[in-house]
Amino acid sequence: MGGCCSPKCRLVSGLVVSALVLVLGGVLIPIGDHIISSTVTEEAVLINGTVAFDAWVQSPSDVYRQFWFFNVTNSEEFSLQSNSSVKPKLKQLGPYTYKVRHLAKDNLEYHPNDSVSYVLPQQAIFLRDMSVGPEEDLITSINMVASALPVIMGLPQILNGIYKITNTSIFHTRTVRELLWGYKDPILESVPIPGIESTFGLFYPYNGSNDGIYTIFTGQGDISRVAIIHEWKNNKYMNFWPEESCDRIKGTDGSSFPPFLNKKNQLEFFSSDVCRNLVAEFHQTRKLKGIDVYRFLLPTSLLSASNKNTANRCYCTKYLNQTGCTRDGVLDISSCKGGAPVFISLPHFLDGSREYIDDVEGLEPNREEHETYLDVEPTTGITMSVTKRIQINILLQRVEKIDIFKNVPQDYIFPIIWLNETGTLGDDSAKAFREALTIPMHALYSVQITLMTLGSIGIVVTPIVYFSVKSCKR
């Protein structure tokens, strides 16, 4: 009674059990996804006590900034030329490496709209063992102050007199430390300009400063908004660009993104270094310290000329040609640099117009060495590794009424320096991440696949065994 001895009964039982195993494997998929989704949603919120909060307050990754200078090797010959036959010759020197972004976020203040404001203190620590030389190394570079003042102030005849008094030339030689972090500039000391200090450096002031108050959403009310910037410097706009499409701040700061990314997502992030919003597109899936990540790259169209990418028309300015628009690969950021004609690009004008590269000697753009990318873990949206590469250039123009510039043969977008800011999740943090998320996810996935495979095999094999046995009995 209650037994199942007949072959037909065993066939039905086998099929039922196999179907149940298959269904169980299928049922575990939405259950597992729900468990993972709930856990990530809970721990990704930027409030005290979550995993994301601890990593957000202070980066678990060591972040470095490496600088390469373009040393001008024929500065005297170029300065004294009377025709356009002499090109500036550049020799790349570097890297000079600093540890940055190692201080915790400060002045945290939560707001009723599920947002939090903060500042990120800046401090750079020189790392001699990761550098090609000491900070006292000398670099011959274009004199940025001398090149910028005719654009900012006009008054060429007055400036010409001041340049003579201060023995100013197109190029000057300074130490790495001076060029990066500041020196007393003789021109600025001679010409006090309201709002401009007499100390000048590419990144002055840096140590002890910050790039403004950020207000971002915590994700507590809506996880799809976590880490998205609500305001910067108490404003939703940069106030650098004439049109809202370019000027309104969008996305995150790039250190993380809302969770549950897919390959069709285009990442948006704001960078105060380049005074604009950036986007990145999916390139490939990679393995980083045992963690599956999506690599996102900046599209080449991001810095395309406005006649190729019409979205870039609102970045055109007054300093170049009649249209005010740059060629491929360059962005004029003078509007956020006090009117100084500063231009940014990728290193060595990667993806830029050939004219920029050919105007000087010594540039060799290389995608592997010069492109920017982010490696993002798609479930959590955390950036596991980032390499941000930017080149800083200045406009060098012919100015008839200033002696040092009257023999400049053409307008140059002149390379000064390029930087590589890198950060990768440390080994201990990667191990903790794998144990907390990657290993459980893979284990759950393995159980799902195993159960579904066994169920499918059972459904296929059980009838075969049944009919084989039945035919043998005949």
Instruction: Give the per-residue pLDDT at 23.
Output: 43
Q: Flag whether pLDDT at 202 surpasses 80.
A: yes
Q: What is the pTM of this model?
A: 0.84
Per-residue pLDDT tens over the stretch 243-281: 898 999 999 999 899 988 999 889 999 999 999 999 999
What is the band of 284 on the pLDDT scale with cuts at 50, 70, 90? very high
SS3 category, 427: helix
Q: Flag whether pLDDT at 5 surpasses 60.
A: no
Q: Flag whether pLDDT at 429 surpasses 90.
A: no
Cα 25 versus chain centre, distance: 40
Per-residue pLDDT tens over the stretch 113-135: 999 999 999 999 999 999 999 99
Lowest mean pLDDT among 332-346, 369-383, 439-453: 439-453
Element (H, E) at 14: helix 7-43
What is the band of 18 on the pLDDT scale with cuts at 50, 70, 90? very low
Q: Flag whether pLDDT at 30 surpasses 90.
A: no
On the 0-12 / 13-18 / 19+ scale of CB atoms within 10 A, 197 is middle
What's the whole-number average pLDDT of the chain? 84
Give the mean model confidence (pLDDT) for residues 131-153.
95
Give the mean model confidence (pLDDT) for residues 61-88.
87
- Per-residue burial over 436-465, b if 16 or more Cβ lie within 10 Å, else e, is ebbeebeebeeebeebbebbeebbeebeee
Residue type, 134: P
Give the mean model confidence (pLDDT) for residues 335-351.
93
Tell which residue, 227, 212, 292, has the closest CA to residue 258: 227
Instruction: Give the per-residue pLDDT at 193.
Output: 73
Give the mean model confidence (pLDDT) for residues 404-420.
93
Q: Flag whether pLDDT at 28 surpasses 50.
A: no
Q: Who has greater pLDDT, 349 or 52?
A: 349
How many CB atoms within 10 Å of residue 49?
A: 8
**82-86 contacts at long range (C-beta below 8 A, 24 or more positions apart):** 82/407, 83/409, 84/409, 84/410
Q: Flag whether pLDDT at 29 surpasses 70.
A: no
Cα–Cα distance for residue pair 454/303, rounded to 1 Å: 53
Cα–Cα distance for residue pair 53/403, rounded to 1 Å: 57
Q: Flag whether pLDDT at 197 surpasses 90.
A: no
Tokens representing 326 are: 């740059």
What is the band of 407 on the pLDDT scale with cuts at 50, 70, 90? confident
